[in-house]
Amino acid sequence: MSRVRSRGNKLTELRLIGIVRASHITGWRRKYPLFGSPDLVFPKNRVAVFVDGEFWHGHPNEKMPKSNAEFWLRKIERNKARDVLVNRVLREKDWRVIRFWQRDLRDVPAVSDALQSALKGSQK
């Protein structure tokens, strides 16, 4: 497992970008240099969007593997702690943080509404 390297979450990002484009939401950037590496950033509105995979970020309904369970539990707990840290740091810097579970992207209207609401709420 140590030799397995992440290839990113390209499909998930593309799904989110498809929702953003279909909703005619503009002003977003990918690969924006911001702490925590958000999937999408709206720099003008100071909104950072993350899409978390259920397994890697510890969704309550996700089952833990039976083999090497201690390792996976520690890894997922570290990921969750890092998510909390990223949220805190960005909010301290006056960024609005929006997080979706990967499965949330199936409900396009809900994701679109949440993004539009966050962007409207961040206008100054």
Q: What is the C-alpha to C-alpha distance for residues 52 and 45, in angstroms, rounded to an integer?
A: 21
Which CATH superfamily is 10-121 part of? VSR Endonuclease (3.40.960.10)
Interhelix angle 10-22/108-121, rounded to 10 degrees, is 70
Residue 11 confidence (pLDDT): 86
pLDDT band at 30 (very low <50, low <70, confident <90, very high): very high
Let me know: does 54 contact 9? Beta carbons within 8 Å: no
Query: Which tokens sit at 30?
Result: 């990918």
Domain ranges of the chain: 10-121
The kind and range of the H/E element at 116 are helix 108-121
Work out the average pLDDT over 20-49: 96
